[in-house]
């Protein structure tokens, strides 16, 4: 049959999308093959109300027939892109459908309704939304400052921690230049640096791989920061994302630790009693000033075998054997205390109250502390 003479009804019948023609009261006058397949494969009785397939929901105020008529009058209504009706499908399930409605100029008017199953599209959107929600929540609670900048180094995103770290009101950093967060003296170099990174093949640089950087707080103070940066190529050009970690607390802790260590080593160094710290392999780790006085001047004991140090004289061999035994037993965890006779570098003999105390950590000897007090001085 030539195309010109094929009836409209036949054309619509073979149209691949579900299509219905309804009268102005919602009675179905015609359903095409795809329409029947979607709604009722055994055939739809003419006159059946469309509300049998697009049911009103008791939990909403939506009257589908009213909206179909409204959309027939404004086929490009903006809500048509975003809303859908629910359709009681032949499968027995309820599926979301997007509808398009055309008015047929008959008297009284009829409407052509096209239905499009959007359940897959809706499921995909739902997944995307879930993923976005998860990601935005992760960003929101991050203790690190996380921000994105575009190719022109304008801030396109900054999480809550960024605003807190740099002292700006929530949400106020978007659209501002990145330079705002940098001390003035670093701005020019930083621009160059970002452009160099943009040209590199490496996709990211992580914390620890990079030197510390300096940020600028809203009040002008400088912030020591550790940063990871990555670049992401998007449809709108390159985006740089940075994670910044505030180093102030760590630096304060490091300074405290340094102070504590330096106090301890001062006390050790200046103690009147001769003291040495001996490694598990029997070598000297550290020796204080009082202990070094027992050695020839200029002799560096660090790393030397403790039992072979030059102050063990008299009967050097016997003393050495004796001390080797004592050190071995202290290395096994048993403290040793004994009198030891030594010869000073200038040749005088002295007797020392000598002790070896094992230092234990998790049940193992990690070091031995040797102490010596000059007994003659007590007399």
**Minimum separation from the CB atom of position 31 to another protein (A):** 25
Nearest distance, CB of residue 59 and another protein, angstroms: 5
Could you give the angle at the alpha carbon of 85 between the alpha carbons of 81 and 88, nearest 5°?
A: 145
Give the single-character DSSP code of 177: B
Burial 317-327 (b: 16+ CB within 10 A, else e): eebeeebeebb
- The residue within the footprint of another protein, chosen from 63, 192, 248, 337 (CB under 8 A), is 63
82 binds another protein (CB under 8 A): yes
Please select the residue that binds another protein; options are 5, 16, 45, 61, rule is CB under 8 A.
61
| Interface pick for another protein out of 17, 57, 120, 200 (rule CB under 8 A) | 57
Nearest distance from residue 171's CB to another protein, in Å?
Answer: 6
Q: Interface with another protein includes 73 (CB under 8 A)?
A: no
Q: Tokens 């009284």 belong to which residue? A: 108
List Cα–Cα distances, 77 to 58, 81, 82, 194, 292, in angstroms: 25, 8, 10, 46, 93
Applying CB under 8 A, among 37, 137, 270, 349 the residue interacting with another protein is 137
Burial profile 143-163: b = 16 or more Cβ within 10 angstroms, e = fewer: ebbbbbbbeeeebbbbbebbb
> Any bridge partners for residue 28, and if so which?
22
Question: Which one among 4, 7, 76, 81 touches another protein, defined by CB under 8 A?
Answer: 81
Tell me which residues in 158-217 interact with another protein (CB under 8 A): 169-171
DSSP state of 14: T
Cis previous bond, 70, omega within 30: no
Q: Is 229 exposed, middle or buried (0-12, 13-18, 19+ CB in 10 A)?
A: buried
The residue from 33, 62, 305, 369 that contacts another protein (CB under 8 A) is 62
The stretch near another protein (CB under 8 A) out of 9-17, 76-84, 106-114, 349-357 is 76-84
Which of the stretches 111-119, 131-139, 194-202, 272-280 binds another protein when contact is defined by CB under 8 A? 131-139
Count of CB atoms within 10 A of residue 315's CB?
11
Q: Which of 12, 29, 34, 83 binds another protein (CB under 8 A)?
A: 83
Q: Length of the chain in residues, anyone? A: 379
Q: Which residues bind another protein (CB under 8 A)?
A: 57, 59-63, 67, 77-79, 81-83, 125, 129, 132-133, 136-137, 140, 169-171
């Amino acid at each position: 049959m030539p195309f010109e003479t094929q009836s409209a009804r036949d054309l619509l019948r073979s149209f691949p999308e579900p299509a219905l023609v309804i009268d102005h009261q919602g009675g179905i006058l015609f359903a095409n093959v795809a329409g029947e397949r979607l709604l009722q494969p055994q055939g739809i009785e003419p006159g059946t109300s469309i509300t049998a397939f697009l049911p009103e929901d008791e939990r909403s105020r939506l009257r589908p027939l009213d909206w179909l008529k409204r959309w027939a009058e404004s086929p490009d209504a903006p809500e048509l892109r975003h809303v859908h009706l629910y359709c009681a499908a032949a499968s027995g399930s309820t599926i979301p459908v997007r509808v398009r409605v055309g008015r047929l100029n008959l008297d009284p008017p009829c409407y052509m309704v096209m239905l499009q199953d959007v359940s897959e599209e809706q499921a995909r959107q739902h997944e995307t939304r879930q993923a976005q929600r998860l990601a935005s929540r992760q960003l929101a609670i991050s203790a690190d400052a996380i921000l994105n900048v575009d190719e022109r180094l304008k801030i396109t995103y900054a999480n809550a921690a960024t605003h807190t770290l740099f002292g700006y009101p929530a949400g106020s950093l978007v659209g501002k230049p990145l330079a705002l967060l940098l001390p003035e003296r670093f701005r020019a170099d930083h621009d160059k640096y970002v452009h160099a990174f943009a040209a590199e093949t490496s996709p990211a640089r992580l914390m620890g791989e990079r030197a510390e950087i300096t940020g600028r707080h809203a009040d002008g103070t400088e912030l020591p920061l550790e940063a990871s940066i990555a670049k992401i190529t998007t449809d709108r050009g390159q985006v740089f994302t940075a994670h910044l970690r505030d180093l102030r607390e760590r630096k304060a802790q490091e300074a405290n630790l340094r102070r504590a260590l330096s106090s301890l080593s001062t006390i050790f160094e200046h103690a009147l009693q001769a003291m040495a710290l001996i490694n598990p392999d029997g070598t000297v780790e550290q020796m204080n000033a009082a202990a070094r006085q027992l050695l020839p001047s200029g002799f560096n004991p660090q790393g030397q075998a403790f039992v072979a140090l030059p102050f063990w004289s008299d009967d050097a061999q016997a003393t050495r054997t004796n001390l080797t035994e004592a050190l071995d037993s202290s290395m096994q965890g048993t403290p040793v205390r004994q009198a030891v006779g030594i010869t000073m570098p200038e040749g005088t003999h002295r007797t020392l109250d000598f002790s070896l105390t094992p230092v234990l950590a998790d049940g193992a000897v990690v070091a031995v502390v040797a102490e010596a007090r000059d007994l003659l001085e007590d007399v």
